[in-house]
Amino acid sequence: MRYLQFLSQMHEIVDPGTYLEIGLRNGNSMSLARCPAIGIDPDFTVTAELVAPVWMFRTTSDEYFERPEPLAPFDGRAIDFAFIDGLHLFEFALRDFMYVERNSAPWTVAVLDDIFPRNVDEAARNRHTNAWTGDVFKIIQVLRERRPDLTLTLVNTMPTGLLMISGLDSKNTVLTDQYDDIIESTVKPDPQDVPAEILERHGVITPEEALSLDFLKKLREQRPGGGPEAEKRIAIVPRRPLAGPVDVVRHPAGGTPAASAKKTAPATKTASTAAKKTTVPGSGKMPAKKKKKSFASRVRRKVLGAPKK
């Protein structure tokens, strides 16, 4: 089974109320979302048709999660389901997981892409192949050693496997506390030493087995509003202002144009204007607060037509 097919079925089973994706590219994986979603990528060109209300941020995950309220688009709700598929370097994948966990709930499921390089070249930190996993595979061993409390499920999807992580704890500081030590002991120059157990995918289960794991249903049941409330969730609109630049907001309820989001032509005039007004060029830092109406309230009025609260 290919990873997108697996993710599509995960969306059905997990039935998240909130979805966050790091690494959008063309939006192929984001197009599977059916609930309010946040997408983060400094260089996306979304061409896939998006169905969900998606807030797309043209920035790095590091910058995004430095913002004071990264969950503002979800009105402060935790991430129910995350797909981590940003920069394929170990330390980035680790930090991306740490960001997701910090904003997680006990029922959150995170999936990381590209954990099984098929050869040493694909695993190189300096990319020189078309298909590229980088050294993301190292996160398996690090989490096994440092976070035995997490449940790791290795899934044998094509082309390069997925790691499903559950049992997240937003208060756990082990990875933050040990971050420098982890990086020093794990990040090595090329060529990478890829263990046979990675190349041969030891310990994997089939995608079908993963999709039928009982704990996925149990996690969903734990979540307030899980399951039958799904129809209502599509209407979530953040009530708190979004801090920082936002590139594109796409909400089907507002009848905004299709989800194509290119650097030069953001999908909505409102979003484009907001991005220009709130970005501090070259700083990557939060702009000073302005007195005018919040971006979220302008979106509600101009794009969504929802009454202001």
Ligand X SMILES: C[S@@+](CC[C@H](N)C(=O)[O-])C[C@H]1O[C@@H](n2cnc3c(N)ncnc32)[C@H](O)[C@@H]1O
Catalog residues that contact ligand X under the rule CB under 6 A. 22-26, 28-29, 40-44, 60-61, 85-87, 92
Q: Given the complex with ligand X, which of 5 and 222 has the nearer CB atom?
A: 5
Long-range CB contact pairs, 5-9, < 8 A, 24+? 5/207, 6/155, 6/157, 6/162, 6/207, 6/210, 6/211, 7/32, 7/83, 7/111, 8/32, 9/207, 9/211
What is the token pair recorded at 8? 């599509």
**Inter-helix orientation angle 179-186/138-146, to 10°:** 140
Task: Compute the least distance from the CB of residue 4 to ligand X, in Å.
Answer: 7
Closest distance of CB 1 from ligand X, Å: 14
8 Å CB contact between 89 and 57:
no
Q: Shortest approach of ligand X to residue 271 CB, angstroms?
A: 19
The nearer residue to ligand X, 7 or 271, going by C-beta atoms, is 7
Q: Please report the DSSP string for 88-139 in residue order.
A: -SHHHHHHHHHHHHHTEEEEEEEEEE----SSTTTT-SS--SSS--TTTTHH
Please, which residue, 63 or 69, has the CB nearer to ligand X?
63
Residue closer to ligand X by CB (options 157, 270) is 157
Using the minimum distance from each CB to ligand X, give the nearer residue, 136 or 168. 136
Burial grade of 302 (CB within 10 A; 0-12, 13-18, 19 or more): middle
Shortest Å distance, C-beta 148 to ligand X: 28
Residue 50 or 303 having the CB closest to ligand X: 50
Please work out, in degrees rounded to the nearest 5, the angle formed at the alpha carbon of residue 290 by the alpha carbons of 289 and 292: 145
Indicate the burial class of 66 (C-beta count within 10 angstroms; 0-12, 13-18, 19 or more).
middle
> What is the smallest separation between the CB atom of 86 and ligand X, expressed in angstroms?
3
Taking the complex as a whole, the smallest distance from the CB of residue 27 to ligand X amounts, in Å, to: 7
Of 67, 63, 97, which Cα lies nearest the Cα of 79? 97
The residue among 67 and 217 lying less far from ligand X, judged by its C-beta, is: 67
Tokens coding 39: 């997408």
